[in-house]
Amino acid sequence: MSNNIDIYIPDIKAAIAGGDKDNFTVLVNYLPAVDIAEGWNKLSLSERMEVFLALKFDRKVELFERIDLTYQREIIKHLRTGALGPILNEMASDERVDLFEKLSKEKLDKLFSLMKDKEVEDVNNLMSYGYETAGGKMTTEYVALKPGMTARAALLTLQKSLNTKEVKNVYALYSTDSSGRLIGGISLQRLIATGPDEKISDIAKPVDNIKVDVTMDQEDVARLFTHYDLLSVPVVDENDLLLGVITIDDIVDVIHQEATEDIVKMAGTESEELLSESVLQIFKIRWPWLFVSWIGGLLTMGIVGAFQDTLGQVLVIAAFIPVIMGMGGNVGVQSSTIVVRGLAIGNIDLKKIWVPVFKQMKVGFVLGLSYGIMMGLIARIRYPAEGVKPLFLGIVVSAGMCLSMTIASTLGAIMPIIFEKMNIDPAVATGPFVTTATDAISLTTYLLLSTFILL
């Protein structure tokens, strides 16, 4: 889709620069809002505001919901308050929560003053559940049916809700009793295919295996969607009262968000950097993680210093330090990445943590043994007369690499699990922590072997 908007970006810029208002208005209202959102960062601030103001109201709301939070706040800052209020009122409830979640109280109060009391109450209720919970991701726009209704009455209720824009995305409808307790669910397809006089109580299916508690973490909700191939799930409280619905479009955003967070944390930074243009802000994000690597470098320097007598007598062993440390670091990151992802998607049982640990240990050993044998042969051929017997040098290099990669792979598996047990995001373990630990242990192991065997 990004290629589609790329074609029109020059036309949009040219129309703005040439003052061709009529053609410009027709063009931006012709393009799908999703495409405009995709190319939003390719326009300047003034161009973005021109495009936004030229859109029809419904398309303004749709575009506003699709662009990143940074750009939403940009529009809030530059759009007159009289035009902003109706947009905020029309937004989907879960989209409003995403927008308001990290705003200061002063800014929240200012935006709330532009909105209807009902919408303000809705936002406050959703925000009270927590941004990364089912309650924070659900929408309160859903269609609830009484068990005694007929399919015909249910369809009429759905049509009315859609026509009055009480709901936007409907994948399923839910049956509740007089107290609002959830009874069952009906897919849209099943409702359409049902005879008009059949009762909702006869066609509704149990939802016990897919309903989610309002406090459930968004990652667990995403796993539920993936496991059952769902399009929507009902959200209930401890009394089974239906509070809202989470739809697949929200879960796709969650999956994308969680994957992005894991990827950037593996590199020792934060997802905020993707949208930040401030060098100072990026500096603050990266500095703590790089500090860990810096400390690791000091530790490595200290280890080398402690073995300076060994290095002084058998200088040739220094030639293999970079490759042994590098291979250990690489296999450690590989193992930790696999374990982090396994934890994220629920493939690893924390009650059987030694299963992935032993698996990665065996993988590290096999890889270390194969690369160690090759490197040992190179050491014996390349350095046949360096003050030590070539055979012993080959054994030290082979054993050093094998042990280094085995230990690194084991650490890469253990550290994310430790972080998970400590309620710390395990993605952080794939960054400087694993690299620093594996470098120090790999180097120490290699130099100890060199000292005991070669001296």
Where along the chain do its domains lie?
2-136, 144-261, 271-454
Sheet containing 144-145, strands listed edge to edge, beginning at the edge strand earlier in sequence: 144-145, 172-176, 182-187
pTM to 2 decimal places: 0.64
Count CA atoms closer than 13 A to 392's CA, side-chain side.
15
pLDDT value for 150: 94
pLDDT value for 271: 59
Residue 38 corresponds to which tokens in the numbers above? 């995709």
Give every residue of the chain whose pLDDT is below 50, as ranges: 1-2
pLDDT value for 1: 41
pLDDT value for 386: 55
pLDDT value for 276: 58
Q: Burial-class residue 218 by CB neighbours within 10 Å (0-12, 13-18, 19+).
A: buried
Q: How far apart are CA 63 and CA 35, in angstroms?
A: 9
Q: How far apart are CA 167 and CA 279, in angstroms?
A: 42
Q: Are 366 and 376 in contact (CB under 8 A)?
A: no
- Go through 354-375 and write b for each residue having 16 or more CB atoms within 10 A of its CB, e for each that does not: eebbeebbebbbebbbebbeeb
Q: Are 359 and 334 in contact (CB under 8 A)?
A: no
Domain 2-136 has CATH 1.25.60.10: yes
What helix, strand, coil percent values describe the chain, rounded to 5? 70, 5, 20
Question: Which residues make Cβ contacts (< 8 Å) with residue 373, sequence separation at least 6?
Answer: 398
Domain 271-454 has CATH 1.10.357.20: yes
Q: How far apart are CA 292 and CA 437, in angstroms?
A: 10
* pLDDT, tens digit, 9 for 90 and up, residues 40-54: 988 999 999 999 999
* pLDDT, tens digit, 9 for 90 and up, residues 333-374: 889 888 887 887 777 877 788 888 999 999 999 999 999 999
pLDDT value for 2: 44
Of 279, 274, 222, give the one whose Cα is nearest residue 247.
Answer: 222
The domain 144-261: what is its CATH number? 3.10.580.10
Q: How far apart are CA 364 and CA 370, in angstroms?
A: 10
Beta-carbon count within 10 A of 194 CB: 19
Q: Are 42 and 72 in contact (CB under 8 A)?
A: no
Task: Give residue for tokens 């373990």.
Answer: 429
Q: How far apart are CA 105 and CA 111, in angstroms?
A: 10
- DSSP state letters, 120-141: HHHHHHHHTT-TTBHHHH-BS-
Beta-carbon count within 10 A of 26 CB: 12
Beta-carbon count within 10 A of 2 CB: 9
Count CA atoms closer than 13 A to 326's CA, side-chain side.
6
